[in-house]
Amino acid sequence: MKIQKLKEERKKNKLSFLIKESNEVFVNTLRRLILEEVPTLAVEDIEIKENSSALFDEMLGLRLGLIPLKTDLKSYERKEKCKCGGEGCARCELKLSLKAGKKGYVYAEEAKSTDPKCTFVYPTMPVVKLLAKQKVEVTMTAILGRGKDHAKWAPGWAFYKHEPEVTVGKVSNPELLAEKCTDGVFEIDNNKVKLVEDKVYDSNLLDYYAELDKGITVKYTDNLIFTVESWGQLSTKEILHSCADILLEKINELDALL
Ligand SMILES: [Zn+2]
């Protein structure tokens, strides 16, 4: 198997790479491990001391659970695997608190975490809106969990597709193609059609263009383009490292059983 990095967009937390000499079975295993097994921190228990906002306690709890929390996989352990036996200790639980009483939006950055490395990822994510004299005071416990138990623990999104190969022949209607091409795959100048190579891998409309004009042909190779997009708890590289560790762990488990 050979891997070639295609594009890394740090600001979007997105990474894509080309996998050669592999197959869908392996690549889909990676995808499912990322969505279901790679652990992240998320708020699981909340204690409400005061909530006079318009949101019900349950809604407030759900919102806090869904706000991505920066995750440090080296310092935390899943409760099931923790030495404390699941009772709760500094290695498997993170405490946060939120106290707000000012009119207007309450943002994620107002929450205080006991671990400065693990705070809410997006400071300006709104939690609740308060009217005059309304208050919210809660303490939260975040734990490591997995996407297969609740989507709030999923570290991001992963998907793959076959590598497309586009060739431009004799295009019969360049004007129509120019009108319908909305993702910049083709540059059309004086009825001459030019392929913009950089945009090909990102396009989802290639088959449509091929259908539109016989001059465009699209073929798919055996290579796979894999894309990981992080919600912010972990970097894309941390997600892939953790995914590889989990795969090895599973192989060893199987090996031990045989
Ligand atoms: Zn513990």
- What CATH number corresponds to the domain at position 174? 3.30.1360.10
Question: How many angstroms is it from 44 CA to the middle of ligand 1?
Answer: 15
Taking residues 65-84, what's their average pLDDT?
A: 96
Token reading at 212: 């539109």
Residue 189: which pLDDT band, with cuts at 50, 70 and 90? confident
CA of 112 to the centre of ligand 1 (A): 21
Ligand 1 centroid to residue 254 C-alpha, Å? 26
Both 75 and 162 in a single domain?
Answer: no
Chain mean pLDDT for the chain: 95
For helices 236-257 and 24-36, what crossing angle results, to 10°?
110
Ligand 1 centroid distance, CA of 156 (Å): 25
From 156, 152, 137, select the one nearest 243 (Cα to Cα). 156
Domain boundary among 103, 128, 150: 150
In 3D, which of 157, 155, 135, 164 has the Cα closest to residue 224?
164
Q: Kindly state whether residues 127 and 47 are assigned to the same domain.
A: yes
The arithmetic mean of pLDDT across residues 215-221, rounded, is 96
Lookup result for tokens 């943002």: 107
**pLDDT over threshold 90, residue 188:** no
Q: Would you say 112 and 96 are in contact if contact means Cβ atoms under 8 Å apart?
A: yes
Question: What does the alpha-carbon distance between residue 71 and residue 43 come to, in Å, rounded to a whole number?
Answer: 12
Q: How far is the CA of 76 from the centre of ligand 1 (A)?
A: 9
Domain around 217: 2-36+156-228
Q: Which two tokens stand for residue 255?
A: 């090996």
Same domain, 12 and 67: no
For 214-219, what is the mean pLDDT?
Answer: 95
- The pLDDT-based confidence of 250 (bands split at 50, 70, 90) is very high
Question: What pLDDT is recorded for position 186?
Answer: 94
| Portion of the chain with pLDDT greater than 90, in percent | 97
Asked whether residue 145 is domain-assigned, the answer is yes
Q: pLDDT tier at 35 (50, 70, 90 boundaries)?
A: very high
Mean pLDDT of 11-38: 96
| Across 84-112, average pLDDT | 96
Residue 92, pLDDT score:
96
The CATH number covering residue 104 comes to 2.170.120.12
Q: Are 189 and 117 in contact (CB under 8 A)?
A: no
- Match 């295993």 to its residue by tokens: 29
- Whether 58 shows a pLDDT value over 90: the answer reads yes
Question: What confidence tier does 191 reach under pLDDT thresholds 50, 70, 90?
Answer: confident
Q: Which of 177, 156, 155 is nearest to 166 (CA)?
A: 177
Spacing, Cα 119 to ligand 1 middle (Å): 19
